[in-house]
Amino acid sequence: MVIIIIVFLWIIGSVLLKKVAYNTASEVVTPRICNQLSNETDKSLCFVGLAKISQDASLCDQVPLDDERASCYFIVASDTKDVSICLKNSDRERERICIVNVAELLENPEVCKNLEIRMDIDVCYYVLAERLNDQKICENIPDDVGKSKCVANID
C-alpha cells in the first residue's frame, strides 16, 4: 500500500512539473510570477514545479493548498533524499509516507527513527528490510511477533 501511495505521489509530481510553463519563450517562471496567479490551484502548481526544479523546499511553504503543499514536500524530500523536509509536513500520514520513502531511497534504517509512533517505526523497518532483503534490519523491531514476521517474510 505504501508503495502504491509513493508511486501515485511521484506521478503527481511529474505531472505537476509538466504543468509549470514559461512566462515567455525566454523567461522562466519565478516565485513572483507564481504569486501573481489568482487561482490557488494554478499558484500551487506553479510553486510545486519551481520547488521540484530548484530542489528548494522553502518554495513548498508558499503553496496555498494543503494537499499540493504535502505533495511538494514529498517530491523535494524524495529528490534530495532529505528527511528533514518530510518533517515540515503538517499531515502526519503524509509525513510518515515521506519518511519511509526517504529511508528506502537512502537504504538507511536510521531514517525510520524520525517517526514518532512505535508502530510506524516498526513498519518502516519492515518495509526497508523487505526492500533490501536484509533480515538484520528486522532486529530493530522490539516486538518479538513483529520481528518474527519480518524475518519470515525476508526468506
Note the pTM of the prediction, 2 decimals.
0.78
Q: Are the C-beta atoms of residues 23 and 17 closer than 8 Å to each other?
A: no
126 and 95 both lie in a single domain: no
Task: For residues 38 and 34, give the distance between their C-alpha atoms in angstroms, rounded to a whole number.
Answer: 9
Q: Environment class of residue 34 by beta-carbon count within 10 Å: exposed (0-12), middle (13-18) or buried (19+)? A: buried
Do 10 and 76 sit in the same domain of this protein? yes
Segment 107-131, tens digit of pLDDT: 999 999 999 999 999 999 999 999 9
- Number of domains the chain contains: 2
- The parent domain of residue 39 ranges over 1-106
**Domain limit, last residue, from 106, 124, 147:** 106
pLDDT, position 29: 76
Same domain, 5 and 33: yes
Cα distances (Å, whole numbers) of residue 101 to 24, 35, 79, 82? 36, 30, 11, 10
Looking at the structure, do residues 115 and 100 belong to the same domain, yes or no? Answer: no
* Whether 90 and 44 share a structural domain: yes
pLDDT band at 36 (very low <50, low <70, confident <90, very high): very high
pLDDT digits (tens, 9 = 90+) for 4-31: 444 444 555 554 444 444 333 225 778 9
Instruction: Locate 65 and state its grid cell.
Output: 493548498
